[in-house]
Amino acid sequence: MINRYPLWKNLLVAGAVLLGAIYALPNIYPPDFAVQISNDDTGLEVSARALAEVTEALDTAAIPYFGAELANGSALIRFASDEAQLSAQKVVQRTLHDLKENFVVALNSAPTTPSWLSDLGAEPMKYGLDLRGGVHFLMEVDTDKTISDRIEAMEQGIKALLRERKDRIRYTDFQSPSQGVLKVSFETEDLRNRARTKIEAQYQQFLVAIGEDDQFFITLTITTDAIREIEDFAVHQNLQTIRNRVNELGVAEPLVQRLGRNRIVVDLPGVQDTAAAKKILGKVATLEFRLEAQPDAPRTTTLEYEYEGRDVRIEKDIILRGDRVFDASVGFDPDSSLPQVNIKLDSDGGELMHRATRNNIGRRMAVIFIETKTRDKYEMVDGEEVRVSVPYIEKRVISLATVRAALGVSFRITGLQSGEARELALLLRAGALAADMFIAEERTVGASLGKDNIELGALSVSVGLGLVLLFMLFYYKLFGLAANIALLANLLLLVAVMSSLSATLTLPGIAGIVLTVGMAVDANVLIFSRIREELKNKMSPQAAINAGFERAFVTILDANLTTLLVAVILYSIGTGPIKGFAITLSIGILTSMFTAILGTRAIVNLMYGGRNVKRLMI
Amino acid sequence: MALDDLNFNFMGYRKIAAAISLTLVVLSIVSLAINEVEWGLDFTGGTLVEVYYDEAVNPEAIRILLDEAGYEGHVVQYFGSDQDVLVRVPPQKGLDTRENARLGDHVLDSLKASSTTGVELRRSEFVGPAVGAELTNQGGLGLLMALAMVMLYVAFRFQLKFAFGAVIALFHDVVITLGIFSIARWDFDLTVLAALLAVIGYSLNDTIVVSDRIRENFRRIRKSTPTEIINTSLNQTLGRTLITSLTTLLVLFSLLILGGELIRGFAIGLIIGVVVGTYSSIYIAASVLLSLNISREDLAIPVKEGADDADITTGF
């Protein structure tokens, strides 16, 4: 009953606080304003030469910078002010434009964490979009429509398969009683069995069953796996498209992520022009299938392209466009086991392809990939040079292969290296008909509001904290001081945990911190009122301290666990802003239990433990 | 200190308190049934644009502008100062999803085009109808789930009668807070929903502390009636209840006054919740216990429980 902690407990408390201090420390170093130069989707690395040119241009423009560095193929240049950063961005863009280097030049903030801290893995907290400004999109992919389109295309494909000229299987009835279910009837059992074998070999997406009524029939039911596959394909295709586009926007740390079954989150920190962002995100690539021109074809009917370093002349007539392609994947040629690309068209596409190729066996067919891109141009407006983005259409031949047979709904391109096959399939998919996508939610926070939010948040946390500290000191005297030290340690630990978990700090998150400050003292209030009560019951000061801490413990545990329970529910049901609040609240509850019970006890023990005390300052 | 020496006959006034609570709950439910709450953009869907003008601006001019542009059901209001303007436009019937998603850009463009002073975008939001509906469902589900989990936990840690008391108190707090939002026509957005769930957490915290003391006193004090024991417990915990509410209110008022417009709804929701929650943990939860005839026998499993407590407490 001497109220002293064993050494290990004091060390535990001191160690936790020290660790907290180290991991919270990076947050006091304000980030530098920086311009980041990074590669486009091409995988090109920023060269030391390009960086040297850029820094030279900055010197010429008399823009002070420090720390121009190359890392992981991209360059980072730091500036002392946001004005310097903004004007530097223009200079850098201009220089790279003159160098004909196609890089993304984005504004960024560079952490200034000292290396001894980052070596320990300590990083500052990340700020959410509501604090740094930027655009958040929630895109929804219209998978329902895609699924019904694809199922219909497959039905048509099955019909075409049965009608194939070489091996025709006559059916008497072909109907679809519900979506994804087909019933095909035949006159004889033999016909039905042949059809079954043939369909099963080509359409693994369907479950095949046989039956008899007045005729012999098979029923085909699409598997849930197949539906899921169509859905995944549609979402991934859009995901890829968005990723490619985002690069064009010049965003430092974009986030493009699938959410649930058919949604895609796009977070673009720092972007203010939402209209431009939407325009760029909405762009899609497409494909054209065209035949190579005959040597004697008139010039007016052909176009010239470059393919693998040689000029090729391609007919102007388009066989079909990307919207007829519904799948492209890498496979292996069963004869040579070399890689190949399997392409599937819808039934109209198959028809068009058949018509175009049946009389042209032996000629070559080209696939042309068409993309809208933007190019920077510098114009003089009112005597001032301004940068304008000019859209242009880029067309390139991605495949030129000899037609070996009359082609239909599905065909393959062979004779490729495995890398080529993958690249070609990727491009074909990117140019294939994309599932419709629309904006389900959009939130834009201007840079000025973000700044205000940080300032107001910091102000309300400090004022709230100050008031609570004052009140505790006034009401509980020396014990209040102990509680205050614990409260500050709690904030330190909260920030440290948030930082090391890479949790994102948002405005509701700040509200969570404020609430934590108010509620964290609750544990101490419980303990202290208990101590006062025991003193009133004529307990000795040392015994009262011990009893107060011990008896309040279960109550504190119960009260905090139930609050934690609610916070976890909040997290699991919540979207963006609510999640931010739930995270800080949960972490705050856990850290406050540690500091308010163990921390305060350690301090009180240091103050009163192990000696004869007549009166407590409580 | 005065707060620690109270001996107030709380339960003597429990009929009056019950009448007041019942009136407030009924009023709230009536208002909710008639007016619902002023659902924010997060739930209704639609478009919101907040802009900052370099000079003070007359919202009437903006209203006329938007009328002329053909937007239906728009709301224009100051947001914090006479230079900050908030424009809300509900989903327009004549437009499809894609066009509705572009409304914010069009509104911003026309505000910029019509203004002679600088206009700066502070924030813009668009919420599609599907997302709004999902949020409403999720929010309601979240509230119910929180209540159910709490009831389970309290029933497990204490006793079923305590669980009823806690849940009725929480229900009371949530309904009255919602009711005040409904009567005052304050915007109910996602942050207010978060506040409401935090109120559940807070009020529960209070109720648990009181219940804990009631349980302890039932086991310790042998010669008192349940009413006396509950009164003693309430008086013993009153100091703590009030001081914790006070510190929480201190930070919440700092958030309300200094935290800016965006966090105002959250702060107000929590302030109301904390006040109502403090009251309910004294009157509602304890009253329900008395009405359910709580007795010493309900808590007579001290052997195992006591051992558990002792195990946990040693060492702290």
State residue B30's pLDDT score. 96
Closest in B124, B258, B262 to A444, CB measured:
B124
- How close B209 comes to chain A (CA, Å)? 6
- How close B146 comes to chain A (CA, Å)? 6
Closest in A274, A525, A558 to B208, CB measured:
A558
Q: Are strands A181-186 and A173-178 parallel, antiparallel or unpaired?
A: antiparallel
* DSSP letters for B70-139: T--S-EEEE-SSTTEEEEEEPPPTTS-HHHHHTHHHHHHHHHHHH-SS-EEEEEEEEE-HHHHHHHHHHH
Q: B209–A444: do the CB atoms touch at under 8 Å?
A: no
Interface size between A and B, measured as CB pairs under 8 A? 246
Token readout for A162 is: 């049965």
**CATH superfamily of the domain spanning A7-26+446-608:** Multidrug efflux transporter AcrB transmembrane domain (1.20.1640.10)
- How close B61 comes to chain A (CA, Å)? 24
Start-to-end CA distance of chain B, whole Å, equals 26
Q: What are A401's strand-pairing partners?
A: A365
Q: A440–B130: do the CB atoms touch at under 8 Å?
A: yes
State residue B314's pLDDT score. 41
Q: How far apart are CA A557 and CA B208, in angstroms?
A: 10
Q: B263–A508: do the CB atoms touch at under 8 Å?
A: yes
| Domains in chain A: boundaries | 7-26+446-608, 32-110, 144-226, 285-443
CB A78 within 8 A of CB A32: yes
Compute φ and ψ for B73, nearest 5 degrees.
Answer: 70, 20
Sheet strands (E) in B143-236? 187-188
Q: A554–B313: do the CB atoms touch at under 8 Å?
A: yes
Q: What is the pTM of this model?
A: 0.81
Nearest residue of chain A to residue B271 (CA atoms): A515
Residues of A with CB below 8 A from B243's CB? Answer: 475, 525, 529
State residue A487's pLDDT score. 94
Plot region of A92 (φ>0 → left; ψ -120 to 50 → alpha; else → beta): alpha
Q: Is B1 helix (H, G, I), strand (E, B) or coil?
A: coil
- As assigned by CATH, the class of the B46-127 domain is alpha beta
Q: Pick from A580, A578, A575: which is nearest to A263 by CA? A: A575
CB A482 within 8 A of CB A607: yes
Q: How far apart are CA A440 and CA A412, in angstroms?
A: 38
Residues of B with CB below 8 A from A456's CB? Answer: 258-260, 263
- As assigned by CATH, the class of the A285-443 domain is alpha beta
Query: Quick check: do A144-226 and A285-443 share a fold?
Result: yes
- How close B245 comes to chain A (CA, Å)? 8
CB B194 within 8 A of CB A583: no
Q: What is the ipTM of this complex?
A: 0.86
Q: A536–B123: do the CB atoms touch at under 8 Å?
A: no
Q: A460–B255: do the CB atoms touch at under 8 Å?
A: yes
Residues of chain A with confidence (pLDDT) below 50? none
CB A135 within 8 A of CB A129: yes
Q: Sorting pLDDT into bands at 50, 70 and 90, what band is B134?
A: confident
Q: B316–A597: do the CB atoms touch at under 8 Å?
A: yes
SS3 readout for A223-290: CHHHHHHHHHHHHHHHHHHHHHHHHHHCCCCCEEEEECCCEEEEEEECCCCHHHHHHHHHCCCEEEEE
Residues of A with CB below 8 A from B101's CB? Answer: 278, 438-439, 442
Q: B249–A518: do the CB atoms touch at under 8 Å?
A: yes
Residues of A with CB below 8 A from B121's CB? Answer: 272, 444, 446
Q: What is the DSSP letter of A188?
A: S
Mutate which of B253, B262, B305 to test chain A, going by most A C-beta atoms within 10 A?
B262
Q: What are A212's strand-pairing partners?
A: A216
Task: Report the residue count for chain B.
Answer: 316
Q: B201–A456: do the CB atoms touch at under 8 Å?
A: no
Q: How far apart are CA A469 and CA B74, in angstroms?
A: 46
Sign, CA dihedral B258-B259-B265-B271, equals negative
CB A372 within 8 A of CB A283: yes
Hunting for tokens 């965003």 — which residue is that?
A251
Q: A574–B194: do the CB atoms touch at under 8 Å?
A: yes
State residue B271's pLDDT score. 96
Token readout for B216 is: 């302890």
Which CATH topology does A32-110 take? Alpha-Beta Plaits (3.30.70)
Q: Pick from A443, A397, A549, A425: which is nearest to A9 by CA? A: A549
Q: Is A199 helix (H, G, I), strand (E, B) or coil?
A: helix
Q: Does the pLDDT at position B312 exceed 60?
A: no
Residues of B with CB below 8 A from A463's CB? Answer: 254, 258
Q: Are strands A286-291 and A320-321 parallel, antiparallel or unpaired?
A: antiparallel
Nearest residue of chain B to residue A447 (CA atoms): B122
- Mean confidence (pLDDT) of chain B: 85
- How close B94 comes to chain A (CA, Å)? 17
Q: A517–B251: do the CB atoms touch at under 8 Å?
A: yes
Q: Sorting pLDDT into bands at 50, 70 and 90, what band is B316?
A: very low
Q: What are A269's strand-pairing partners?
A: A134
Sheet strands (E) in A346-422? 364-381, 384-402, 410-413
Averaged pLDDT, B11-36: 92
Number of alpha carbons in the 13 Å side-chain half-sphere of residue A263: 14
Give residue A326's identity as a one-letter amino acid code: F
Residues of A with CB below 8 A from B201's CB? Answer: 562-563, 566-567, 585
Q: Pick from A137, A136, A235: which is nearest to A440 by CA? A: A137
State residue B268's pLDDT score. 95
Largest separation between any pair of C-alpha atoms in chain B: 80
Q: How far apart are CA A235 and CA B247, in angstroms?
A: 49
Hunting for tokens 């991209």 — which residue is that?
A74
| Domains in chain B: boundaries | 2-39+132-307, 46-127
Q: B191–A575: do the CB atoms touch at under 8 Å?
A: no
Query: Quick check: do B2-39+132-307 and B46-127 share a fold?
Result: no
Closest in B150, B209, B267 to A526, CB measured:
B209
Nearest residue of chain B to residue A458 (CA atoms): B259
Q: Sorting pLDDT into bands at 50, 70 and 90, what band is B184?
A: very high
Q: Candidates 1.20.1640.10, 1.10.3720.10, 1.10.287.110, 3.30.530.20; correct CATH number of B2-39+132-307?
A: 1.20.1640.10
Q: Pick from A8, A12, A16: which is nearest to A493 by CA? A: A16
Token readout for B108 is: 């911003």
State residue A42's pLDDT score. 55
Reported as a single tens digit per residue, the pLDDT across A274-329 is 777 877 777 777 889 999 998 888 888 888 898 888 899 999 888 988 888 877 88
Q: Pick from B220, B202, B214: which is nearest to B286 by CA? A: B214
- As assigned by CATH, the class of the A144-226 domain is alpha beta
Residues of A with CB below 8 A from B125's CB? Answer: 441-444
Q: B244–A519: do the CB atoms touch at under 8 Å?
A: yes
Q: B247–A577: do the CB atoms touch at under 8 Å?
A: no
Reported as a single tens digit per residue, the pLDDT across B227-277 is 899 999 999 889 889 999 999 999 999 999 998 888 899 999 999 999 999
- How close A222 comes to chain B (CA, Å)? 28
Residues of B with CB below 8 A from A446's CB? Answer: 120-123
- How close B257 comes to chain A (CA, Å)? 8
Averaged pLDDT, B7-18: 86
Q: Sorting pLDDT into bands at 50, 70 and 90, what band is B22?
A: very high
Reduced DSSP (H G I as helix, E B as strand, rest coil) percent helix, strand, coil of chain A, to 5: 50, 25, 25
Q: A573–B142: do the CB atoms touch at under 8 Å?
A: yes
State residue A1's pLDDT score. 52
Measured between alpha carbons, how far is residue B177 from residues A468, B165, B287 in Å?
Answer: 25, 18, 20
Q: A448–B52: do the CB atoms touch at under 8 Å?
A: yes
Closest in B124, B191, B200 to A566, CB measured:
B200
Residues of B with CB below 8 A from A574's CB? Answer: 138, 142, 194
Residues of B with CB below 8 A from A525's CB? Answer: 240, 243-244, 247
Residues of A with CB below 8 A from B217's CB? Answer: none
Token readout for A111 is: 């952490």
* B39 membership: H or E segment, kind and range: strand B38-39
